[in-house]
Each structure stands twice: as structure tokens, then as C-alpha cells.
Amino acid sequence: MSAKPDLKIVLCSPRGFCAGVVRAIDTVERALDKYGAPVYVRHEIVHNKYVVDGLKKKGAIFVEELAEIPESTTAPVVFSAHGVPKSVPADAQSRNLFSLDATCPLVTKVHREAAIHFKRGREIFLIGHSHHPEVVGTLGQLPPGAVTLIETAEDAKTITPKDPNNLAFVTQTTLSIDDTAEIVALLKERFPNINGPHKEDICYATTNRQLAVKKVAPVVDALIVVGAPNSSNSQRLREVAEREGCKIAVLAQRATDIDWSKFGNIKSLGITAGASAPEVIVEEIMDAFAERYTLHVETVSAAEENEFFPLPRQVRPEAAAE
């Protein structure tokens, strides 16, 4: 039996679950424990099939709209980590649904910023990707037409505001740091008086995972991002790896997604995971490579993370004692 070839694995740190994702998943699990099945969840709680399938097995029912939820239910309804338009909680209230808001606090921060700018009479730009649920939720915080979406640098170059001296911008939390910096620079060049966030809107987890990939991508032959195709932060990690010169940068939801023909002659492999991807899949993918290679594993770290977001009050452990 021939010896397996050596393969250096470089793990990006941090990777995987962020505090907002942990909070969202815990919200559904605590609701199931406390109130029993079913628990309805509007939209995927986070963009990861493994996580969603696991919660389905425990009794969560995923819907895209509240209209899919039975009229007479007393079951909890959880809003996903991405946030929802204001019309959704209003609809839930009008139907007397018991709702739990698992919106990431960093997304809520963007909602509040947009509301303050609107109150001050400013025209608002939102830098983000159209149809992403986070963007839909942020646009839905304010009346139609109050927020204009900017998706590309070209949009930033050509947009014509009503009053160039009365502008503000907010951003989606899961964007490419570099792409967003370019768009912001263009806006500030064109509109020097534009108001931006005091602390940037791209969340710490997106930033840190991209910084780790920037360190690893130039020194490996290939890089795998564990994450879903509809996960914005995972797609950005793949793009960052390509931009940093990694010739093979792919997204994989599970080990079964790996196209082994792409990895035939590699000597080194970087692995990271999007903020909604569990560590168990990183281990699954490493096990799949261990069947074909002798692994030598090291970790490259870009930042320490110790953020924690408290759960919604209704499902906190102390709520049972109140």
C-alpha cells in the first residue's frame, strides 16, 4: 500500500460561528425546550443547511412568510438573525402571534442608525446586496423611497441625490471590507458632508474572518470556505481568497461537495468557515482529506474573539424564575 502524500492544512482563526449566529440558534433551541414543538422560524435562522436541518429534526418549522403559519397557533415565531422589515413584527402583533426576535444586535444597530438619519431628514444610502434578507430588513425599517441601495462602485459614481449636502450611509454587516471601503471612499469624495456610522457597520466577525483569509490565502495552494451559497459572508471569504492570489478557492457546504479533481496536486490547503457554518463540518472536511493525505495542521490567527450577545428575554434561563 503506497504512503499517502503529505498535505499541510492551515486553519484560519477565527472561523465559523459568530456571537450573533450562536444567539440565533440558541433562541430557537431554548424556545423548543421551553415551549415544545413546533417553533416557527421566519426564513432560515442562519444560512446553513446543516444547522437548519438539525433544528427541523428538533421540531422547528421554517417558513418564508407569516401567512404560512396557522391562524390559531400559540407556538412561538422566531425572526431570523438577518432582521426583518418593520411590517413583519406589526403583522405578527396584529395576529397575536408570540414572536421572538433573533435579529443579530449588530444588524439592529444598523436599523437604529438608519432610523436616526431619517429622523434628521437625511437621504440615506444603503451599501449592500439587493434581495439579501438583511438588506430587505434594513430597507423595510423606513418608508418606501427613504433608502437607496448602492451595490457597486459604479452605483457610487453615478448616483444622483436630491441634496448632496444632506446625506448619510449605512452598510450591510457581511460585505467585503475592501469593496465597501472603495464604495465609501467614492461617496466621501463626491459628497464630503455625507454622514457615516461612528463605528463601521461591517461586523467584527466578517472583518476578522476576512483578515484571517488575507493572511492564509497567499501562502496555500488552495482554500476551502465552509459555507452556503446564499451566505453573504461565506461568499465574501471565497472572493477575498481569490483576490489575495489563491488559485483554487471554493465554497463547500459538506465534504461531499468537494470536487477532488481540483485538489490533485496541492501541497497546502487553507480552511475557513463562514459565520453561520459549524465547526463539525470543518472537522468532517479535514477527515475527508485525511483519508487521502497525511495531514500536518497549523493555525493562523488574525484576531481573538470573545463577544457575547444575551438571548431574547423570553428565553433567558432566568426568565423561568421570574
Q: What is the distance between the alpha carbons of residues 157 and 281, in angstroms, rounded to a whole number?
A: 41
Annotated binding site for dimethylallyl diphosphate: 47, 82, 132, 231-233, 276
Q: What is the distance between the alpha carbons of residues 13 and 300, in angstroms, rounded to a whole number?
A: 6
- Set of cell numbers at residue 265: 496536486
Distances (CA, A) of 294 to 56, 223, 321: 36, 17, 52
Q: Are 85 and 132 in contact (CB under 8 A)?
A: no
Distances (CA, A) of 248 to 216, 270, 279, 288: 13, 10, 22, 18
Annotated binding site: 18, 47, 82, 104, 132, 173, 203, 231-233, 276
Residue 200 is among the residues annotated as catalytic for this protein? no
**Burial letters for 3-35: b for 16+ Cβ neighbours within 10 Å, e otherwise?**
eeeebbbbbbbbbbbbbbbbbbbebbbbbbeeb
98 Ramachandran zone, left/alpha/beta (phi>0; psi -120 to 50)? beta
Q: How many residues does the chain have?
A: 322
How does strand 76-79 pair with strand 248-252?
unpaired
Side-by-side strand order, sheet with 6-13: 248-252, 222-226, 268-273, 6-13, 294-301
Catalytic residue among 44, 113, 123, 134: 134
Which ranges of the chain would DSSP assign to H, the alpha helix? 19-35, 49-58, 87-94, 105-119, 133-139, 153-158, 177-190, 204-216, 232-243, 279-290
Q: What is the distance between the alpha carbons of residues 67 and 48, in angstroms, rounded to a whole number?
A: 23
- Kindly state the greatest CA–CA separation across the chain: 73
Q: Radius of gyration over alpha carbons of the chain, in Å?
A: 21
Residues with a catalytic annotation lie at 134
